[in-house]
Amino acid sequence: MGGEPNRGRVGDTGAVPHWSALITSVAVVGVLALLLRWAYGGKQRSVVERRPRVGRADDYGLMVSVASPGTFIEGEVSRRRLETAGIKAQLVTTTEGPRLMVLDEDEARARRVLATS
């Protein structure tokens, strides 16, 4: 910016980069390669989301099944009905088909909401 104009020959690429800059560049690329390998490599080490595992209806810990919809569309309609009533619900895929799951303490209320509609 306020320095002398380039007085070199046409086609002159300038000075070769200093060796420390070259080593630093190679080190940065190596670290990035290791980071990508850690993020995307291996089944146990990957931080990238995997496809969910299909389990039984009783494999969901504190959640209990309150409905067994015939299709995912019916299940989504029921899930939204529960959410409108203030009940947190999940539509999950189980080995027995789709299930509508709620927390254990909301089970009775969820069954009442689903029975009235």
- Return the pLDDT at 63: 87
Q: Is the pTM of this model over 0.75?
A: no
**Burial bucket for residue 53 (CB in 10 Å: 0-12, 13-18, 19+):** exposed
How far is Cα 62 from Cα 103, in angstroms, rounded to an integer? 6
Instruction: Give residue-wise pLDDT tens across range 3-60.
Output: 565 565 665 556 666 788 889 999 999 999 998 887 777 666 555 566 667 777 777 7
